[in-house]
């Protein structure tokens, strides 16, 4: 009898530990001016896929800084969006993204995406994006907001899959 009681106590104690919070935060607003997202991105064009880690920092509604890096922080690239123009940071200088500079999937995606819309897509908000389809596949609570965890962006012959592992919102209100 004591063994059964101990087993029941252990079972109920463990089940209480694995309960998830049912609190759901409000969706992150599209006009939030300062935030940071960290995660992974996979870009597929035709049959070629390229992956990278990213850190996306929104400084204000007109400026985003995105750092992409490969395994072990190799091939680090920093991009800066100012309004609707995308620049690649090379040392202290900024050069506009050249539409014919690279043929790899990430370079191709960079010059086909509307730069001013992507940050809002990452926040889970649709914008008038022409031929692009944006799907938030999964959401996560990241105090004080509910924000995307998995986002898929599709365009003509391009698929971009993002997994956001960490959000940071400043200020928190």
* Model confidence pLDDT, tens digit, residues 1-43: 444 444 443 444 443 333 344 578 899 998 899 999 999 999 9
Q: How far apart are CA 52 and CA 43, in angstroms?
A: 9
Q: Helix (H, G, I), strand (E, B), or coil: what is residue 120?
A: helix
Report the candidate in 50, 126, 57, 116 with the shortest Cα–Cα distance to residue 86. Answer: 116
In b/e form, how buried is each residue of 1-36, taking b as 16+ CB within 10 angstroms? eeeeeeeeeeeeeeeeeeeeeeeeeeebeeebeebe
Contact yes or no for 117/64 (Cβ under 8 A): no
Q: Measured at the alpha carbon of residue 84, what is the angle toward residues 124 and 93, in degrees to the nearest 5?
A: 115
Domain range list for the chain: 34-169
| Topology classification of domain 34-169 | outer membrane lipoprotein receptor (LolB), chain A (2.50.20)
Task: Check residues 10 and 118 and name the one with the higher pLDDT.
Answer: 118
Q: What is the pLDDT of residue 172?
A: 55
Report residue 46's pLDDT band, with 50, 70 and 90 as the boundaries.
Answer: confident
Q: How far apart are CA 170 and CA 78, in angstroms?
A: 22
* pLDDT at residue 93 is higher than 60: yes
Q: Measured at the alpha carbon of residue 144, what is the angle toward residues 43 and 173, in degrees to the nearest 5?
A: 115
Q: How far apart are CA 41 and CA 36, in angstroms?
A: 15
Report the candidate in 97, 104, 124, 122 with the shortest Cα–Cα distance to residue 44. Answer: 104
Find tokens 């109920």 and name the residue. Answer: 12
Q: What is the pLDDT of residue 96?
A: 76
Percent of the chain with pLDDT over 70: 76
Q: State the chain's mean pLDDT as an integer.
A: 80
């Amino acid at each position: 009898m004591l063994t059964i009681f101990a087993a029941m106590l252990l079972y109920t104690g463990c089940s209480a530990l694995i309960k998830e919070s049912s609190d759901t935060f409000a969706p992150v607003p599209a006009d939030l001016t300062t935030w940071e997202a960290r995660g992974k991105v996979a870009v597929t064009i035709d049959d070629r896929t390229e992956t990278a880690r990213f850190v996306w920092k929104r400084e204000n509604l007109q400026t985003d800084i995105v750092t992409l890096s490969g395994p072990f922080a190799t091939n680090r690239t920093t991009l800066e969006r100012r309004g609707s123009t995308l620049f690649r940071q090379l040392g202290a200088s900024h050069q506009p993204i050249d539409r014919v500079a690279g043929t790899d999937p990430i370079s191709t995606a960079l010059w086909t995406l509307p730069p001013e819309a992507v940050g809002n897509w990452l926040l889970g908000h649709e914008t008038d994006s022409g031929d692009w389809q944006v799907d938030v596949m999964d959401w996560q609570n990241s105090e004080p907001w509910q924000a995307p965890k998995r986002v898929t962006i599709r365009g003509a012959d391009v698929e971009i899959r993002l997994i956001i592992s960490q959000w940071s919102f400043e200020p928190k209100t």
